[in-house]
């Protein structure tokens, strides 16, 4: 059986775009970890596709292939990511929520972070989460908000991550739905945009990063049409997982949750009876 850990960065953890990177520690350099020589500051565009080699390495595309470029056009960059995006939105539709728009900038931010996580773990056996504390060729910013800004996203940014060794994108999303704190993020009514990084092909360690975002104006508009209670599993859903997977933070194990600030997510066959008690 594949092993995995799920972690999340909601707006309270991942931060909004008001973050200032000067308030965080500089990333630990590769030289400090293994005495490697630092990379050259010279940046070229080997395949003449308009993206510098360092830009492509950071995102995870091939700097030597003119047909391998960062995502653009606000659509998934592969058929596999398209299927994953549709799967993600199917959960929201079933729960009565609005579908999310695909955002290429958020996909590029997700890709750079998944490759950063793979690089750091493969090379140093260090498991990072939402915060990039170490230097790598894929380093783009300390937290999800800064990384979103760096790739051109103008709204606030959050993030969910699933570590899964076989790199199955769809199963990764399904497992995120089986972790209660992450499910709250996936079913957040105020989110409007998302980008999926998929799993890295560059490293043995596999992390799927999904970034999502919103603006203040969009939140106000979506609140007008938001359901009073979000019910999951939704009516007619089949093959619902009957387990809660390990996640960080462990919202319901580490502390008593503040139910005033959590969206109701009702599970099980008695959800109609539970609804009457909310």
pLDDT digits (tens, 9 = 90+) for 89-109: 999 999 888 899 999 999 999
Q: Tens of pLDDT along the chain (278 residues)? A: 444 444 444 332 333 333 444 434 457 655 555 544 344 456 777 767 666 777 666 655 656 655 455 666 788 988 899 999 999 999 999 988 889 999 999 999 999 999 999 999 999 999 999 999 999 999 999 999 999 999 999 999 999 998 887 778 898 888 888 888 888 888 888 899 999 998 888 899 988 999 999 988 777 777 777 666 788 888 888 888 766 666 665 555 554 444 333 333 333 333 333 333 32
For tokens 């959960």, name the residue.
91
List of residues 6+ apart from 253 with CB closer than 8 A: none
The reported pLDDT for the residue numbered 235 is 86
pLDDT digits (tens, 9 = 90+) for 207-228: 899 999 998 877 777 777 766 6
The reported pLDDT for the residue numbered 263 is 36
CB 47 within 8 A of CB 69: no
Tokens of residue 234, six digits: 């939704």
Instruction: Using CB atoms within 10 Å of the CB of residue 159, give its burial: 0 to 12 exposed, 13 to 18 middle, 19+ buried.
Output: buried
Whole-model pTM: value is 0.70
For tokens 């997982």, name the residue.
241
The reported pLDDT for the residue numbered 269 is 34
List of residues 6+ apart from 254 with CB closer than 8 A: none
């Amino acid at each position: 059986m594949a092993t995995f850990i799920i972690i999340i960065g909601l707006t309270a953890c991942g931060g909004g775009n008001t973050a200032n990177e000067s308030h965080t520690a500089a990333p630990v350099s590769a030289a400090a970890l293994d005495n490697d020589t630092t990379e050259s500051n010279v940046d070229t565009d080997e395949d003449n596709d308009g993206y510098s080699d360092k830009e492509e390495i950071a995102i995870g595309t091939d700097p030597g292939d003119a047909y391998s470029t960062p995502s653009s056009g606000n659509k998934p960059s592969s058929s596999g990511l398209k299927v994953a995006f549709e799967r993600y939105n199917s959960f929201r539709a079933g729960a009565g929520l609005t579908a999310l728009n695909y955002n290429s900038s958020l996909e590029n931010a997700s890709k750079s972070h998944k490759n950063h996580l793979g690089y750091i773990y493969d090379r140093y056996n260090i498991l990072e989460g939402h915060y990039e504390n170490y230097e790598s060729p894929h380093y783009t910013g300390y937290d999800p908000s800064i990384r979103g800004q760096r790739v051109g996203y103008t709204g606030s940014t959050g993030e969910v991550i699933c570590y899964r060794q076989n790199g199955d994108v769809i199963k990764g999303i399904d497992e995120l739905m089986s972790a209660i704190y992450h499910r709250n993020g996936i079913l957040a009514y105020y989110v409007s945009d998302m980008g999926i990084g998929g799993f890295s092909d560059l490293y043995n360690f596999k992390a799927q990063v999904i970034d999502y975002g919103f603006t203040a104006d969009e939140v106000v508009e979506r609140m007008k049409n938001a359901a009073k209670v979000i019910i999951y599993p939704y009516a007619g859903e089949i093959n619902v997982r009957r387990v809660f997977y390990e996640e960080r933070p462990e919202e319901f194990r580490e502390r008593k949750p503040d139910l005033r600030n959590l969206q109701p997510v009702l599970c099980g066959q008695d959800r109609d009876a539970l609804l009457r008690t909310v």
